[in-house]
Amino acid sequence: MTIPNSIAITPELVASHGLKPDEYQRILDLIGREPTFTELGIFSAMWNEHCSYKSSKKWLRTLPTKGPRVIQGPGENAGVVDIDDGDVVVFKMESHNHPSYIEPYQGAATGVGGILRDVFTMGARPIAAMNALRFGAPDHPKTRHLVSGVVAGVGGYGNSFGVPTVGGEVEFDERYNGNILVNAFAAGLAKSDGIFLSEAKGVGLPVVYLGAKTGRDGVGGATMASAEFDETIEEKRPTVQVGDPFTEKCLLEACLELMKTGAVIAIQDMGAAGLTCSAVEMGAKGGLGIELDLDSVPVREDRMTAYEMMLSESQERMLMVLKPEKEEEAKAIFVKWGLDFAIVGKTTDDLRFRVLHQGVEVANLPIKELGDEAPEYDRPWKASEARPALPASEVAEPDDYNAALLQLIGSPNQSSRRWVWEQYDTFIQGNSLQRPGGDAGVVRVDGHPTKALAFSSDVTPRYVEADPVEGGKQAVAECWRNITATGAEPLAATDNLNFGNPEKPEIMGQLVGAIQGIGEACRALDFPIVSGNVSLYNETNGVAILPTPTIAGVGLLPDWSKMARIGGMQDGDVLIMIGGDGTHLGSSIYLRDVLNSTEGPAPFVELAAERQNGDFVRGLIRNDQVTACHDISDGGLALALAEMAMSATKGMSVSLVDQRGATHALLFGEDQARYIVAVPSDLANFIGAGAESAGVPFRRLGTVGGDRLVVDGVIDVAIVDLVNANESWFPAFMA
Amino acid sequence: MKSAVVQLPGLNRDRDMIDALTKISGQAPVTVWQTETEIPDVDLIVIPGGFSYGDYLRCGAIAARMPVMQAIRDKAEKGVKVLGVCNGFQILVEAGLLPGALMRNTSLRFVSKEVMLEVVNADTHFTRTYEKGQLIRCPVAHHDGNYFVDDATLAALEDGNQVVFRYAAGTNPNGSLGDIAGVINAHGNVLGMMPHPENLIEAAHGGNDGRGIFASALEVIAA
């Protein structure tokens, strides 16, 4: 062979590619010789944590991924779920954490671009986006800069591409000071007979490169994203990609137009590890070899080496296997949209991944071992120690409940996120039925008279830290609950698991515990995981983030005219709590923000109660019996009431007289499986009787009316004061 | 009445606009691609919102120089109604069909929210279904909606009743001069506006305040 090997493969070079000595030995054993520089780059791209899931694969396999509505589970660009009438929803969530910390605007923008591409690669037109963002402490010197850049980047890409952002999360905690989280979700609509997959079929067929040209941006991005940060972080800026939403919008239209012609056999977007990963995945999945000729790759810079081309993460690019007889038709579509179209290779029958550059073979590797037979680890792990119980009697009551409520509602984490979501186009496409600010975003299904989809993204990292299993369950349960609170039936979810360094047994223990909890909850709630992403090594100088397994779910509303909203209540309506009284103050918002303590266990998630209470609430909504609905989560009953009151700009008069326990636990306890519904007064008794016969715990809380939130002599606050406290923190912080 | 929607790479509210025109007039508009040099016989041409050509150079600057713009200009000169919304407004300004410029929002941030518009001139082809002084709800979603003209042009616009919409007091989302949200040409057949009436036309949108603009332009009898 005439493979040039001008760069010597030293142990330092191997290490700088993120490959461990035993992994390098595995490469030597596999190919029986020293790899070329380009090959080393290819191995590094394929075998890093980000692309290979080598630490998490063993545990991800335990998650439930099947269900009567699941058409495509994990392993493709996105999951596919049946929503009746031949329609399917295609969705996934993915992290862009490391790049967003290094370069917030472009990091976040290309995170959005990547997830949108995953969705339309499958043949779906994106209809909704969400973003779960986590930043360091508000007073950390980098936080404002990162918030400003990430939010602008998310908006800059999504707004220009033309997808409504309908939900998400924004949280602050000092544990994200050195590693922020940007988890981007996208969902699209397709027809069940119009789904496209990445598995290549047929030997000798053209491999076609589409979209934008290849540049030097993002070289080695996936490898960077699989390492911890230290002081050298500024040097990593060139590994961040640069996004062009205009090209992506054109690529979307061109791809959907091309898919209609029947020319596409297989399609894969170029995301992490670009040309390498997309080509290997298409070949490995289809049991075929791939041969690429880099001289045909459209480039935007001169004299790019094979190594750079193979590792570039330039955005807005796709790889397809096309039917040769449709080539001209396909090309015309791409020319119309001003995009590159080049045949860069072919499928082969030898299971090799061969790369030619200027007539020289620069790589020749076994494709299966690069792709689906990459290394897998069973890393040692240590279960988190259970925290002792923290009864409410050991937690101080607030001196002044009004002040405590105003403090919580205006705190960095509980205040309104309007400053953020007013930078996202929430109206575009004309189908947004519920925009950010409620329990879930809701988008109607274009072309159907009554159908709509609900979306929510949730996780409570402090619970996961306190108890990974319960925290994992709670993330799923809260997502399921938020979707239920609109009246939708939760169908399936995607998980985005953000953790620290898995080589540390305690971090690995968090990951293992959280996956166990997620799996338990998904099974109990019939809420399978159909796609997802793992982001590890979220550590800086040895300090890990809070364990953050974000769960984003999708639900179906058969008739949106019967949907519930957080703010729909009317004067005179009766407020009813579904679920038990508040008792649990461990790891609560009250404890953290008012008493400055993070102690205590996470609340226990009783999945049978979660399901029973949720099904009952959904039934009420679908029978058109509630005027408003909200789940009880962070901050307990008091925060939930305040959020409903602010959203409706109506007062409430609430009594705790029927409830047993300490007042602060009733008001701020974060017990699970609970909702508040507002119902017309003439239905209240009927609904109470219904709950009783269904065995669902309920409490009549009080009535809607006036302009103050009044709770039994403990709280009496004007709604306008709540709104002012809630709306002022974010703009003041960013001013 | 017949309508046409112009499609340029990067526009992204063309589907919203097609949907609104279809629902309100009962007839799907024809679509016109960037390279076309002739526009079919229609009564209303709409340039929808988005980010034509990625907003590169300046919002609307490249679109204003595409072949299809000459065709639009010819139609406008013949009196055909032309409506530009958001990026469409920016394009009409860049093409010289409307006076002024649309600068970056004073907040320097993209803004997406609902505002209130005052119908300043209800005696145009586009606003006959409203009353003068009526306040209507309307979403906005833009980064560059800060309208500016020089003093003399502003005076001429005001004198000629060419300011059609203003942001109601306290709701100006972008710092535009005189709270201007939409202006019409002297001849009264070319309207540009930043807000998106096409996103507020039916129950699913939570209201239909935007419907009147299309009903008026397409001479649809109010239902």
pTM of the model: 0.96
CA distance A578 to A613: 7
Which chain B residues are within 8 Å of A427, Cβ to Cβ?
112, 139, 141, 196, 199
* CATH at residue B175: 3.40.50.880
Write down the mean pLDDT value for chain A.
94
CA distance A468 to A591: 19
- Domain residues for the domain of B98 are 3-217
- Tell whether the model's pLDDT for residue A7 goes beyond 60: yes
Sheet holding B163-167, edge to edge: B30-33, B3-7, B44-47, B81-85, B190-193, B180-184, B163-167, B111-119, B135-142
Spatial contact of A224 and A497, defined as CB atoms under 8 Å apart? no
Topology alike, domains A1-65+200-375 and A388-427+564-735: yes
User: Maximum CA pair distance of chain A?
Assistant: 86
Span A602-624, average pLDDT? 98
Could you tell me the fold of the domain covering A1-65+200-375?
Answer: Phosphoribosyl-aminoimidazole Synthetase; Chain A, domain 2 (3.90.650)
Determine the pLDDT at residue A225.
64
- pLDDT band at residue B221, thresholds of 50, 70 and 90? low
Higher-pLDDT residue of A718 and A51 is: A718
Within-domain flag for B212: yes
A629's CB contacts (< 8 A; 6+ apart) are A439, A485, A486, A487, A564, A565, A566, A617, A620, A621, A675, A676, A677, A678
As its CATH architecture, domain A388-427+564-735 has Alpha-Beta Complex (3.90)
For residue A590, give the DSSP letter: I
Within-domain flag for B94: yes
Determine the pLDDT at residue A375.
84
Q: Is the dihedral of CA A15, A16, A19, A20 positive or negative?
A: positive
Alpha helical stretches, state H, B9-105: 14-25, 67-77, 87-94
CA distance B196 to B50: 11
Spatial contact of B152 and B100, defined as CB atoms under 8 Å apart? no
Note if A96 is an active site residue: yes
- Tell whether the model's pLDDT for residue A141 goes beyond 70: yes
- Tell whether the model's pLDDT for residue A374 goes beyond 90: no
CA distance A36 to A376: 23
Determine the pLDDT at residue A1.
31
Contact between chains at B13 and A428 (C-beta distance less than 8 A): yes
Contact between chains at B112 and A245 (C-beta distance less than 8 A): no
Determine the pLDDT at residue B223.
43
pLDDT digits (tens, 9 = 90+) for A541-567: 999 999 999 999 999 999 999 999 999
| Residue A144 tokens, joined | 């404002």
Domain residue ranges of chain A, discontinuous segments joined by +: 1-65+200-375, 66-195+430-560, 388-427+564-735
Determine the pLDDT at residue B220.
81
As its CATH architecture, domain A66-195+430-560 has 2-Layer Sandwich (3.30)
> Which residue type sits at A398?
P
Q: Among B125, B142, B143, B196, which one carries the catalytic annotation?
A: B196
Beta bridge partners of A553: A456, A493
Within-domain flag for B223: no
Span A24-47, average pLDDT? 91
pLDDT digits (tens, 9 = 90+) for A689-699: 999 999 999 99
Identify the weakest region by mean pLDDT among A43-57, A167-181, A432-446.
Answer: A43-57
Spatial contact of A550 and A459, defined as CB atoms under 8 Å apart? yes
A567 phi/psi in degrees, rounded to 5: -115, 25
Nearest Cα residue to A146 out of A107, A94, A95: A107
Higher-pLDDT residue of B220 and B186 is: B186
Alpha helical stretches, state H, A10-91: 11-16, 21-31, 37-47, 49-52, 57-60
Determine the pLDDT at residue A231.
65
Within-domain flag for B222: no
Give the C-alpha distances (Å, rounded to integers) separating A675 from A60, A334, A653, A680, B103: 31, 51, 17, 16, 46
- Tell whether the model's pLDDT for residue A472 goes beyond 90: yes
Note if A140 is an active site residue: no
Contact between chains at B16 and A429 (C-beta distance less than 8 A): yes
Identify the H or E element spanning A604: none
- Tell whether the model's pLDDT for residue A84 goes beyond 90: yes
Interface test with A, best of B12, B23, B196 (most A CBs within 10 A): B12
pLDDT digits (tens, 9 = 90+) for A487-516: 999 999 999 999 999 999 999 999 999 999
Contact between chains at A430 and B9 (C-beta distance less than 8 A): no
B51 touches chain A (CB under 8 A): yes
What ipTM, to 2 d.p.? 0.96
Within-domain flag for B174: yes
Higher-pLDDT residue of A318 and A218 is: A318
Nearest Cα residue to A348 out of A297, A277, A286: A286
Higher-pLDDT residue of A697 and A45 is: A697
Contact between chains at A249 and B53 (C-beta distance less than 8 A): no
Q: Among B59, B118, B138, B198, which one carries the catalytic annotation?
A: B198
As a three-state string, the secondary structure of A203-267 is: CCCEEEEEECCECCCCCCHHHHCCCCECHHHHHHHHHCCCCCHHHHHHHHHHHHHHHHCCCEEEE
- pLDDT band at residue A485, thresholds of 50, 70 and 90? very high
Span A114-127, average pLDDT? 97
* pLDDT above 90: percentage of residues in chain A: 86
Tally of structural domains, chain B: 1
Span A61-74, average pLDDT? 97
Span B98-123, average pLDDT? 97
Determine the pLDDT at residue A228.
72
- Tell whether the model's pLDDT for residue A667 goes beyond 70: yes
Which value, in Å, is the radius of gyration of the alpha carbons in chain B? 16
Determine the pLDDT at residue A223.
65
